[in-house]
Amino acid sequence: MLMSKKRANRRAAPRTQPSTIRDESTGGETAETFLTHPFRNPAPPQAPPIPTQPLPTPTLVAPAGDAMARRRRRRAFGGRPELRLAYGARARPLGRAILELLPPPPPPGTICPACRGAAAGCLACRRWAHLLRADDPVAYRRLVTRAVCAVQQAPDAPPPPRYTPGNAGHSQAQLVRETTKWIVADRSCKTTNVLCNGIREGGLSKHASNLVSSSSWDILLHRVGDLLMCYILRHSSVFLPVKKSDYLQVTGVPLNIVLQKRMSTSTPARNKQSRSIKDKCPTCYAWRNAQMTPNISGGNPVSSSKAEFYSSDNAQKVDALPSSGTCDAVGIIKPKCSGDGCNCSNCFTQKPRKRKRLYSWQRRSKQKQVCYEDRSTELSKLNKSNQATEVKNQRHSLQPTADNTFLGANNGNNFPQIKEPGNVPVLSSRKSPSSVLDIMPSQGLSCGYSTPGDQSTRPQSGPVCFNCLMLNASKCVSVDSPIRRHGIFYNKRVSKNVFHRNNFTSKRKGTDGLFVIKRIFGIKECCINFFHCNCDGSPTRNSNCLCHWLLQQVKNLIRNSKRCQYKKLFVKHCSAKSKVAEDGFPSDNVANEGSIQHSMGGKSAYSDGSFAQLEAYSTHQQVVSFVWAVLTRIIPQPLLGNPSSQRSLRLNIWKFIRLRRFETFQVTDCIGELKVSYYSWLSKIGYTSCSCFVPMRKYTEVSSGMEEQRQNNLLRCWISWLFSDIVIPLINTYFYVTERETKRYDVFYYPKSVWRNLTSNAIASLNAQSFRTLCGTSRRAIRHLYRSSTVRFLPKTKDMRPLVNFKAQSKDVILSKCHLVIKKVRDENPEMFGSSVFDYDSIYKNLSSFISSVRTQLKELKVYIVVADVSKAFDCVNHDMLLKIMDDVLKGDEYVLRKCKKVVYSRSKNAVYRFDSNVSVSNGNSSHDFSIQPSSSGGILVDQGTASTIRKEDLQRVLFEQVKCNILKIAQNFYLQQVGIAQGNKLSPNLCSLYYGHLENSVLLNVLHDGKINSGEAISAPEYLLMRFIDDFMFISFSKTHSLNFFNRLRRGFVYYNSYMNDRKYGFNFNVGSSEHCHNRLYKGDDGVAFIPWSGLLINCENLEIQADYTRYSDIKIMSTITVNMHSSMKDLSSKLSHYMRPKCHPIFYDSNINSPGTVRLNIYQAFLLCAMKFHCYIRNLPYSSMSKPEVLHIIKSTFRYMHSLIISCMQGVELQSNVRPVLKLRRKETTWLGLSAYIRVLQKKQSCHRDLLALLIAEVGGYGCMDRDSDSLRYAVDDSHSSMFWRFRY
């Protein structure tokens, strides 16, 4: 019965509810008793109710069936991830949270005890019907259905009061004021409440109180009563929707404190871990215990004497310990002490002390000591300490070899004597790696690559051999580890040393093979100290010692890297198309300075030579050939493996080169088909030929199959080093890697010499237009006073686009405040910005209002449309005029900004970020007119109760710096922009819109008001529609004369504003007379219908219906617009397909008030066509896929359900945020059928790749029958003539 009531309650939920939250919270107020209400006494608490009453029929969206509506409502309880993380399932819409506080409804046929059977009913008996009514205002419905409420649980909050209809006659503002004073006066409350933030000595800061005292809250107060309202204000957290994905907390414990309590529980446990335990090397710890075992067990003849062992924590070797000491479970000696409070130096139970670091002059003096003197001193002291026999059997050779002398000298490793308390001589265990390979045969230490017959004469215990060192001490490289390829992009530095950054050949006194081996396999210095090699041969190729052989091969690699002729190889493999210089290396001369030409409009046009250089990039195959030629010349043949490994390695390099901009490359992609058996030297490294493996087995935890796993790990170490330290630095030195504007995410490799010429031409063009070089005193002064922004160039079709990086200004607090003030001015005075629109929501609102007013005239009169674009809109802004306009706009002397804490959760990084944000602005000292200015990223805003003030003079100073002191840093030079504003700055879009809005109000409005409409074309107001997206104009009118006057005025330009139209970006659907120099962008498909593209939209010239503009895909490959995850799972593929559907999912395409039923379904069908093409490209790029065809079909069908739900959600969001009432006449069944038809139509052209999937899709669509025969709109949507542009796409 309980479950059935819950299901009934779900079905009764309002269809207009947005997503809410499901999580649990650990934060909240402390347990307290519900105090007496200031106006009436509380009633006894009741148990939480289970709502069962249904709601009135919703009016927004046509239902798609009860089951589908039920599924949509279940998904609605999602909300922001920050709220799910903090409160869990307790976070609900405000209306549902209120109903959860009520007692169970009375049984049918009984009188309600609350209202006693009144005709109007009450909240306890009518539930949703009483809370939401048909004539409720939009703001109230949005409060009840969109606001999120999380009620505290016991013991943090008392039980809810008994519901009583009506209130004591007090308003919501009075109730909030008294409740706030009540909370402040309650000393038992140990937590803060957002409602009380900002209380001052002189009164209350009314930011949060005003938000919960609006007219919508008054309506809610009269319907729930003052007792429930007071309980909600005190013991719940309420979050009001601001815009789209922003919420503002107005009551309850601040969310940043709640999340901080949840995340800080595990912090003390992490801090309790000792630093010495963190830094301990487990491999050295196991080897040390393995060496101690024979001495402790009594099998060694010297076990009765003093023991010797290594300590990796303090890097000391203790030589004298009492023989009467005990041993613990792991074999560590514990000496006996005289008493419990012993503080001797040999007691290991004493409290560790902080190591004292030597002064810098002492460390330098220590490094300059001669190794021979120190070692001889140590040996003489060791001989005096009755340890001669044991030290003689275990010490290292102290004679440096000629091959490895440098490493020890460079690292400064020596052996100074250290005296501990108690006069016990101690020898530092840090040895020079130069002594590792110089061991005398009489020492009896094993080498991993030796004949089995020699093992009988060697002891069964002792230091570690080469095989154990490589298998146990190498770093663990995961197959999922990424190769960091971001460093190859946008590198302009020129260096003749290829490997200058990775410590490969940049040692001060030479190169060392052992250093490179340690870098390749990640062997620590402490593990090297345990290694001993006992062989009789010198490090030559014919030696049987694998250690010396590998060392010699690495030395050959270093020698070859120094002798390789990189420039000649570069010219040989990359000069066919690149047209590089004769020497193959970037020259220092700047050429082609006279190749720049300038047009009348101030736009630079590249000469034929410069245009040819834009196409002078090296192909992927040329880059692979160059990289492979270098690898075969510097890496010895045995290290590259057999021919099979070389073919596989070259194929993997080609896959790495052809990656797109944001794709990743993992170690498993570097390995590919490579195997350990392809490398003979890796196959010989194993435990089978290791003599020290048997005594160390139980300490190294080697199990069956472990040898193969560790050999594969060595292969991953070698290949990942090959890519990271050779391939990437090689590309970084000789190529400038970038993408192109017309090729989206495809990567292009420009030789450094070609790129230098291209950037020189682009800089010369900038100097000729609106920039000048700063030099001398002026440059130093401006660099000191103002910040500069770096610039990189992006190749276009025929020129270069400068992209400015304003990262240095992103954290400027005053700049952020100025941005908020301008946004407030824009919201309060939209007429100052003219006809500016800033997103699809504004376009949809204006277009919907215009079409609804002229709907009857659309079928009778012809529509005249003009589209124009300002040429270089940002670069033509006059500085003085813009500053003058801003002075007129900023009317207040000062602005008050209220500080909030913004909480944002990142799903990709699984982390919560909290940072300060100024999101509320008011004029002057008034605290009643705060307006919220949310950001586009979304998050939870928590009011902190503090405010800051910014004066008009400060705003003017910031604007002056941003407009007249825009300094760009290109290479090592600084350039000052004399005309125009920086494109990409935070303030630039609003400043540019304000500038051209002033142009409209001063010039264009006079032209539009003087226009006359013919007597036969007279219509009711408005007679035209003008919209401008920053610099893109669109004019719609029913008068040809009116439209022609507007067009001619735009063609003349605006000299006073230094603005001219781009002749290649006009669009019009009527005869404008002499238009020889004007390029008309009118688009016509195979069906003959004319469209004009504008800001990503296709506007029908006959009926103003809106379609999405996909014409930009005609010049590029679909493959270049996607980013492929090489190791995609079902979840990744589903996420990608859903992401492909989001860009064109806006009510402007699916509202039946604007579009006909056929156009609505055509927009859905075309969105699925593009998604199907991207799906094909994504699947084709996967190296392998473990997903079966039925699983892929399930993912595709889930995309259809997601698309339909997303359309409904967007419709609901627009209706709640504005007064526009969208109408959606679409069934879920139709959406699924259109999606299946689109996939079948696209994949039929690629039948060889998707034969099995295509059969499943055809069988699936057959279950829906012939829906296109019964519906004219569906038949219109799937007609190929209406989507003719898609069949010209390359996928």
Write out pLDDT tens, residues 1154-1184.
999 999 999 999 999 999 999 999 999 888 7
What pLDDT was estimated at residue 60?
37
- Quickly state the pLDDT bin for 490 (edges 50, 70, 90): very high
Q: Taking the model in full, what pTM does it have?
A: 0.76
Distance of alpha carbon 1025 from alpha carbon 1043, whole angstroms: 11
Q: How far from the centroid of its chain's Cα atoms is residue 1092's Cα?
A: 35
Q: Is the pLDDT of residue 445 over 60?
A: no
Integer Cα distance of 968 and 1044 in angstroms: 41
Going by C-alpha positions, the residue among 1179, 1183, 1184 that lies closest to residue 1136 is 1179
Query: Residue 218 contacts by C-beta under 8 Å, 6 or more apart in sequence?
Result: 171, 172
Both structure tokens of 593: 């300075």
Q: Is the pLDDT of residue 311 over 60?
A: no
pLDDT above 90 for 629: yes
- Write out pLDDT tens, residues 97-137: 998 888 888 787 788 877 777 777 788 788 888 888 888 88
pLDDT in tens, 1057-1100: 999 999 999 999 998 887 777 889 999 999 999 999 999 999 99
Per-residue pLDDT reduced to its tens digit, 649-689: 999 999 999 999 999 999 999 999 999 999 999 888 877 65
Residues 432-453, mean pLDDT to the nearest whole number: 34
Q: Which of 412-416, 506-510, 598-602, 624-628 has the lowest mean pLDDT?
A: 598-602
Q: Give CA separation, 368 vs 334, 361, 373, 512, 529, in Å.
A: 37, 11, 12, 20, 21
pLDDT given for residue 107 in this prediction: 81
Average pLDDT of every residue of the chain: 74
CA distance 963 to 815: 12
For residue 337, pLDDT beyond 70: no
Report DSSP state, residue 1118: G
Percent with pLDDT over 90 in the chain: 31
Give the model's pLDDT for residue 120: 73
Measured CA to CA, the distance from residue 1161 to residue 1158 in angstroms comes to 5
Strands (E) in 329-439, as ranges, are 333-334, 417-420, 424-428
Q: What is the pLDDT of residue 739?
A: 94
Q: In Å, what is the CA distance from 699 to each residue of 287, 703, 940?
A: 7, 11, 52
Q: Give the model confidence (pLDDT) of 739-791 as tens digits.
A: 999 899 999 999 999 999 999 888 888 877 788 887 765 656 665 556 678 88
Mean local confidence (pLDDT), 66-86:
57
Answer for the pair 637, 452: CB distance below 8 angstroms, yes or no: no
| Mean local confidence (pLDDT), 498-526 | 70
Tell me what pLDDT residue 187 has: 67
321 pLDDT exceeds 50?
no
Length of the chain: 1291
pLDDT at position 762: 87
Give me the pLDDT at residue 1131, please. Answer: 85
**Least confident window among 548-562, 907-921, 1095-1109:** 907-921
Report the SS3 class of residue 782: helix
- By three-state DSSP, how is residue 1152 classified? coil
Compute φ and ψ for 921, nearest 5 degrees: -130, 140
Q: Are 804 and 984 in contact (CB under 8 A)?
A: yes
At residue 199, the pLDDT reads 63
Closest CA to 98 of 135, 115, 73, 123: 123
Average pLDDT over residues 1035-1049: 92
CA distance 912 to 92: 21
Q: Are 1242 and 1172 in contact (CB under 8 A)?
A: yes
Say which amino acid occupies 949: T
pLDDT band of 427, cuts 50, 70, 90:
very low
Q: Are 513 and 551 in contact (CB under 8 A)?
A: yes
Sequence-distant (≥ 6) Cβ neighbours of residue 462 within 8 angstroms: 291, 394, 444, 445, 446, 532, 692
> For residue 206, is pLDDT > 60?
no
Contact between 79 and 23 under an 8 Å Cβ cutoff? The reply is no
- pLDDT digits over 802-821, tens only? 888 887 676 677 888 888 88
Per residue, what are the HEC states of 930-995?
CEECCCCCCEEEEEEEEEEEEEHHHHHHHHHHHHHCCEEEECCEEEEECCCCCCCCCCHHHHHHHH
Q: Confidence band (pLDDT; 50, 70, 90) for 799?
A: confident
Of the segments 400-409, 857-866, 1063-1072, 1236-1245, which one has the largest average pLDDT value? 1236-1245
Residue 902 φ/ψ, nearest 5 degrees: -100, 125
Give residue-wise pLDDT tens across range 861-883: 899 999 999 998 998 999 999 99
Q: pLDDT exceeding 70 applies to what percent of the chain?
A: 66
Per-residue pLDDT at 1241 exceeds 50: yes
User: Residue 832 is encoded by which pair of tokens?
Assistant: 């100052």
Residue 425 is predicted with a pLDDT of: 35
pLDDT reported for residue 154: 80
Quick check: 441 pLDDT over 60?
no
Is the confidence at residue 438, as pLDDT, over 70? no
Cα(142)–Cα(140) distance, integer angstroms: 5
Q: What is the DSSP string of 763-780?
A: HHHHHHHTEEE--HHHHH
Query: What is the reported pLDDT for 347?
Result: 40
Q: Is a pLDDT exceeding 60 seen at residue 429?
A: no
Ranges 209-218, 694-703, 950-959, most confident: 950-959
CA–CA separation, 116 vs 111, rounded Å?
6
- At residue 1036 the predicted structure's pLDDT band, cuts being 50, 70 and 90, is very high
Per mean pLDDT, which range of 214-228, 418-432, 814-828, 1202-1216 is the poorest? Answer: 418-432
Instruction: Respond yes or no on whether the N-terminal peptide bond of residue 1022 is cis (omega within 30° of 0).
Output: yes
Q: Which residue did the predictor score with more confidence, 1280 or 778?
A: 1280
